[in-house]
Structure formats: C-alpha cells, structure tokens
Structure 1
Amino acid sequence: MGADYVRRTAITRLVVDSEQRKLLKDTVTAWKRGCQLATDLAWGQCSDKSDVQALAYDTVREETDLGSQHTVLATHQAAQAITGCMEHQSRGQRTSKPTFTAPTVKYDTRTMTLFDDETVSLSTTESRVRCPLALPDDQEGYQWQYLDGDNWEVTESTLTVRDGEYFLHIGFRRQKTRTEKNTTEDGTVLGVDLGIENLAVTSTAYFLNGDELRHKLREFEKVRGGLQRTGTRSAHRTLAETSRREVRYLRDVIHRASRALVDEALRYDCDIISFEDLSHIRTRTNASWGHRWAFRALFEFVEYKAEVHGISVKQVEPSNTSKQCAECGSTSDENRPTRTDFRCQQCETEANADYNAAKNIGLRYVRRGQQLSRRTGNSQLALKSGTVTPNGGFTAYPHGFEAKFTDKPHPTS
C-alpha cells in the first residue's frame, strides 16, 4: 500500500522553553537506549518488526523511561536497521551490528499531534509537551503547502537535535493520482548525481558547481572551531548565531539549486527525476555535515518543487554508479583514475566522472521501472542530445534544440 501514496517531509524548528528542552533531551537519550537494547537482543535472531517487538518490548519498557507506544516504535526502528544490514550482506557488503548515536526520536500519530494553531504536542518520557512551530512569517515557506493542504495527512515524523536546537521533520502523505501511478513506469527520466566538486550534475550535462559552497562551508567550520576552543559564554552565543547563519546560507543555495534542477527537468520534458539513495552518502563521499545536510535538503526541495509540475522524484541504489561505464556497462576501479575523470578500460569512453554517474543513476531507474512493470515499457533517459533506452535505442532531439552534448561543466547563474 505504501506505493499508493506520495510522501513528503516538512522541516521546522521547535520553540521550546527550558523545561521542555530537558524533557525532549531525556526522551532522545531513552530512545537511543531503547533502540540499542532491541537491536542487541534481536541481532542474529530476527529482523521482522513483529518478531523484534515480541522479543524486546518488555526489556525496553523495563530498562528505559519510554512510554508504551515509543517502546513499540523503538523495536520497529531496530528491526528496520537490522533489515538494512541484512540487505547489505546479501550484496556482499561488509556490515556490523547497528549502533544508535544520532540524537533523534521517531513519532507517529499516537505520540504526536499537530494543531491548527501551528503548535505540536509530543510525547516525552514524563508527559506531553506542546511547542510552537517556528514557521516562516509569509506563505512562501514550502511547509505551508502541506500544513494547509486538505489532501495531506500527517504520518510518521522525526525529532532531531542540531546545535542545541530541536527540529521536527514532519511526515506527510496523500494518495497518488492515476497519472502519478503511470509516470513511474513510463516516461522520460533525468538522472542526477550529487557530489563535492559539483553539487549536482544531470544526465543532460547540466553542472551545478560546488566550489562556492565548499569554500563557504570551510569558512563556517573554521569559525566554529575557533569559537568552540574559546569556550566562553559569549563565544557560545556567537556559535549559535553562526550556526543559524550557516543554515540560512545553505537553504538559499539549495533553493536556487533545486529550482535549477526542476527547470532542467521541465526543459527536457522529464516525468521523473532520479537521485542516488542518500542513506550512506557520508561513507561514499566523505562529506562534511554541511554537505550531507545540503544533499538531503536538495532532494526534499526538488521533491516538493517538482510535484507542482507533476514530476516524480525517486532514489536508486547507488553502488558503482561512479565506476560503471554508462556506455558499455563495464565496472572497474580503474575506470575512475581521478575524482573528476572517467575513462572506461573496456570501450575507452572518456567523460566527466559526475556526468557519467548521473547517466548511470537515470538508467538504473529506467531499468528498475521496466523490471517492476514486467514489460519493455517506454521509459527513456534524457541526455543533452536526445533520449536513450537501456537497449541502446537513441532518439535525437529536433535540429536546433541542442546541437551536441558535452562532458564539460558550464557556469550556472
């Protein structure tokens, strides 16, 4: 049934007082312990949600201050983590027992209530707290379309702590339309690769340069490091303001980048935008906190901007997209001699490495869609010069639309 819904996430900061802050902090601590207890008990024993719940519920309930429903959610979170490890093992990847260190807590409709006065009630280890949402003053903030939309319903959400502030990632869902169900199987796909040198590169050879973002994040990191070493009360206040400036800067960059990607999809009449799965983006890219935040925010911003135009946004398995040749399919570590260059050892194709990865990401979604629908289908990947199918069928754009494609980055303003 999950495939019949469109899902979105709206992120907003919570306005909390000192008492609420303590209760939420205690809940985060108890949640991490509850998830770890359930994982320790179920690791090597079971991975199904109901089985983990039956095995670990009593222990988690007795050894933490979590309420009944949060205890259930913690066992389900453990089951999800164990299942993810098993999937990695099935692909021959190394894995180890999950550990829960992230300052987060899952909420569902039993443990969280969203009110019309722009406040939210959250269960804690002691009692419920009701906090205002720090929403944009005007109606241009993307959160409003979900909060005010009659067709969106609240679903599972996540509370997270960052730099002493509490942020709620509110989950929403609505039923898919008939058109949305069709376009995920047939249509034109725009592949997007995310990275450090280039924030994003598309299968149509559109490059969003990441130099300025990388430079700014290094500057913020240096300032934070100096303030943390100083350690005074004034330095802590300045640190908090610096963190807020960094988030504001990142949001501005991501808004502009997401608009550019959606515009590129519209330009090439794409029905789907395909990203790589962001679950393990830190391991794959050695990305900083700022870049990881940017990657996830970019996906979410593209998702809600694309929806307005009826474009679906999807994620695909990212393994080897940077090492596989988009032309012949050959995969080798030697295919990527440098961070920016791709040179296939099999067919001698040369390309920008991020551009090659973007094409692989798009093609991976096209192939997956065909396998799911059990037919050859009409899905195709958008390139700068035309569209291509997995079996090599190429259709050029009309003369004058694009003369030829290039692997070289071009400036974006």
Structure 2
Amino acid sequence: MFLTKTVILKIANPDNDLVETMQKYSDGMNYTSKVLFDNGKPMGAMKLQKLVYPYLRENLELKSQMSCNIPRQVAGCYKTLKKNKAKWQRVEFSPTSMTFSYKRDFTIDRDTVKITTINGRKPYSILNYDYAAQYFDGSWEYQASKVVLHNDGEYYFHLSIEKEIPDKEITDASTFMGVDVGINYLAVTSTTDKKCKFFAGGEIKNLRNHYKSMRARLQSKGTLSAKRMLKYISGKEKRLMRDVNHKISKEIVKFALENDISVIGLEDLTGIRNTTVSKVSKKNRHTHSSWAYRQLQTFIEYKARGVGILTHYVDPAFTSQTCIRCNHISKNNRNRLNFRCKKCGYENNADLNGAMNIEHKTRDFRYILESQGYLSATQTNA
C-alpha cells in the first residue's frame, strides 16, 4: 500500500524568471486547450502532444519536459469533463500553477528547490518548518510537483511525495472505533470499550449561518460588486471548512492512537447529498448539502493510514435509528440530539448511539470475514 502526501513549502525568493515561466506555461496550457476544444472531443495525451509540441517549444520557448507535461494535464482535464458529463466547453487556465517532473525539471532538499525556468535551472530558497523535516529523511519518493501562486500573492512549492507502507489485514484487528459525522457535532467517536469523544460544531454552524445571511443579502442586490463578494465569501467558507476538517481529523486519529485502535469505521456517504436534500426543509437544504462530510472522512482516512490504522466504510442504513442495546429500529427512537428506544427504553446522545452502531458494524464485518475465510481470497485477487 502506498501513502501519498502533498507538502506545501513557501518559496522565499521568487523572481521574474519564475513569474515569466508560469505565464508562458499558462499560455501553453491555453493554446493546447484551444487545440483540443477545436477537435470537438477528448483525445489522448500523446496524440495531443504531437499537435502542440512544436508550438510550445519554438513559439513559447518552453523546455522539453514542460512541453510534455502540458498536453498531459490538458488531456486529463477534458477527460474529466467527459467523465462528469459536463457541457463541452473550452477550459481557460490562469497563470497560477505549473507542474514539474522530479529530476527532469526540479530537484529539492530541505532548504532549496532547483527549478527549470525559461532561462535555465535556478535555485530557490524554501521556508521549511520542523514538521516538514521528516519528508527529507530519505524514506519518501518525490513525484511530479507544482509551483502554485496562492491567494496571498506568494509562491509555494507543492511537493508530492509517496512511500510504501506495509499492508495490514482487518482480521488481525482487535480494537475498533466508529465515527459519526454530522452538523451539531461535527464528529462523535466511540471505541470497542465504549470510550468516546465529541467534536462540537456549534461555533462553526453559527459562522456558516452568518455567511448564509450575507449570501442572501448579496444575491438580492445582484450587482457586480455583490457577485465579487459572493465569490470571496464562498472561497473563505471553503477554506474555513477545510481547516476545521484538518484539525478534527487530526484529533480523531490522535484519539484512536491513544486508545490503540486497529480500525476506524466510517459511514459510506455516497449519495448523501441527494438523500439529505429530499429529507430536510428547503430552509436548511444548503446547510446540509454543502457540509463537507466526505472531505472530513477523506482526511481521517489518509491520516489514519499514515500511522498504520485501517479504515472501513459501512452501510449507513439505520445507524441513527437502531438501538445499540436491543437492536430495535424505529424512526421514533431519535428526536434530534436525543435517542430513546421505544422498545427497551435505552437512552443516550443520538450521535453517540450512531457512532456505537458504526463501531459495531465494523467489528461485525471483521468477524464475518474471519469466520467465512473471505479476506485472504479477496487480497489474493487484488
């Protein structure tokens, strides 16, 4: 199994060569995008490269590896459009990002990244931090990486790294933890031995309600400045949620380590947006449908993988309606944050009861696999 990460390092001394290279790279992306768009349908990267390579090299004076990276990126972008069944449209690229291949057009150590620009290979100092030192210890392999112009006007090197880590089998696991994600509590965890932790979401919920009110006022105005502000608010809200999800996922994995957890159970939330929208009032649909449930789970998954903890996704059906004590299922068992079983009278926090059910389903999966001998066969065929 491979663990991949992106380490963001600030470039301390960007110069005109770097800026001009990024501009020409963007020009090359847009020229290539026009060629592909005029073709009327996606095409393979190699075929596209043959059509645009001479122009990229001779007219834009881009280096050889850049002239190979550009058609690969553009071809991939249009394939994604087709895969997502989006309207066929020409994609425009801004001069905010360019991709480099390790060794061919960049090398790096803890303090310096050497990048191929239009005026040759140049060294740039990077502001490194103690947390990043671990990624320069020789155990990680460097992959194609990017120089990115952030919204703060500074240039950063997004270093992509990869490391192979030993595979673990779920049948070797003995301790489990379920994680229920939501809005009132962003996450609630419960372990096999009934230890739990709550991650409150009240402050974030109030802040997002504030953004919601601002959006309503700006949308009613409809002016150009209002539209610009709407775009700004949207970006700020996404950055807020991403930061919150990073922090919570880090704390969840830390809690799992402290309790010697082998497997973290999560709900398979595929299609959660469509299901949720149909069940909540129109007034609350944006809050529910835009909540970054899946992002939080993804962060938990890769952080857990990095410390040797497995993750497993379970069917979310009835986890919020099932009594953990007697297994009685009823919609009436849950009333907002309260859970009270209509059959046996068991009472608990509703989200904690859900986390306990997720842990139980994860643990059941492990023992079913072991008893039926499916796991080894599945891994053999993988």
Partner residue, 2:168: 182
Contact residue 22 and residue 98 of structure 2 kept, 8 A: no
Are residues 1:131 and 2:131 paired? no
Partner residue, 1:398: none
Partner residue, 1:17: 14
Q: Secondary structure at the residue paired with 2:114?
A: strand
Partner residue, 2:203: 212
Q: Following the alignment from structure 2 to structure 1, what is the Cα–Cα distance between the partners of residues 170 and 89?
A: 33
Pick one of 61, 66, 71 that aligns with 1:70. Answer: 66
Alpha-carbon shift at residue 12 of structure 1 (Å): 1.9
Q: Following the alignment from structure 2 to structure 1, what is the Cα–Cα distance between the partners of residues 268 and 63?
A: 33
Q: Secondary structure at the residue paired with 1:55?
A: helix
Are residues 1:105 and 2:101 paired? no
Identical pairs, percent: 19
Q: Which has the higher helix share?
A: 2
- Scaled by the length of structure 2, the TM-score of the pair is 0.57
Residue 355 and residue 167 in structure 1: after superposition, are their counterparts in 2 closer, same or farther (change >3 A)? farther
Partner residue, 1:161: 149
Alpha-carbon shift at residue 56 of structure 1 (Å): 0.5
Alpha-carbon shift at residue 14 of structure 1 (Å): 1.9
Alpha-carbon shift at residue 173 of structure 1 (Å): 1.5
Contact residue 38 and residue 60 of structure 1 kept, 8 A: no
Partner residue, 2:306: 307
Q: Secondary structure at the residue paired with 1:182?
A: coil
Structure with larger Rg: 2
Within a 5 Å distance, the mapping from 1:329-348 to structure 2 comes to none
Contact residue 191 and residue 358 of structure 1 kept, 8 A: yes
Within a 5 Å distance, the mapping from 1:293-304 to structure 2 comes to 303-304=302-303
Contact residue 8 and residue 300 of structure 1 kept, 8 A: no
- Scaled by the length of structure 1, the TM-score of the pair is 0.53
Q: Following the alignment from structure 1 to structure 2, what is the Cα–Cα distance between the partners of residues 96 and 342?
A: 45
Q: Which moved further from structure 2: 157-166 or 26-35?
A: 26-35
After superposition, what is the alpha-carbon deviation per residue over 1:236-261, rounded to whole angstroms, capped at 9, x for unaligned?
A: xxx9xxx9xx989986x566524421
Residue 117 and residue 7 in structure 1: after superposition, are their counterparts in 2 closer, same or farther (change >3 A)? closer
Alpha-carbon shift at residue 120 of structure 1 (Å): 1.1
Alpha-carbon shift at residue 275 of structure 1 (Å): 6.8
Contact residue 13 and residue 165 of structure 1 kept, 8 A: yes
Residue 34 and residue 44 in structure 1: after superposition, are their counterparts in 2 closer, same or farther (change >3 A)? closer
Within a 5 Å distance, the mapping from 1:338-377 to structure 2 comes to 376-377=374-375
Pick one of 114, 119, 122 that aligns with 2:115. Answer: 122
Q: Which moved further from structure 2: 149-158 or 120-129?
A: 120-129
Q: Following the alignment from structure 1 to structure 2, what is the Cα–Cα distance between the partners of residues 190 and 359?
A: 10
Q: Following the alignment from structure 1 to structure 2, what is the Cα–Cα distance between the partners of residues 29 and 13?
A: 24
Alpha-carbon shift at residue 193 of structure 1 (Å): 6.3
Within a 5 Å distance, the mapping from 1:11-90 to structure 2 comes to 11-19=8-16, 20-31=18-29, 34=32, 37-38=35-36, 41=39, 43=41, 52-64=44-56, 65=60, 66-81=62-77, 84=80
Amino acid at match of 2:68: V
Q: Which moved further from structure 2: 18-27 or 6-15?
A: 18-27
After superposition, what is the alpha-carbon deviation per residue over 1:223-274, rounded to whole angstroms, capped at 9, x for unaligned?
A: xx9xxx7xxxxxxxxx9xxx9xx989986x5665244211332355433446
Q: Following the alignment from structure 2 to structure 1, what is the Cα–Cα distance between the partners of residues 82 and 365?
A: 24
Contact residue 201 and residue 358 of structure 1 kept, 8 A: no
Residue 116 and residue 18 in structure 1: after superposition, are their counterparts in 2 closer, same or farther (change >3 A)? closer
Contact residue 22 and residue 97 of structure 2 kept, 8 A: no
Alpha-carbon shift at residue 150 of structure 1 (Å): 2.0
Partner residue, 1:404: none
Would you say how many aligned residue pairs link Structure 1 and Structure 2?
Answer: 320
After superposition, what is the alpha-carbon deviation per residue over 1:191-246, rounded to whole angstroms, capped at 9, x for unaligned?
A: 65666655445576744223334556788998xx9xxx7xxxxxxxxx9xxx9xx9
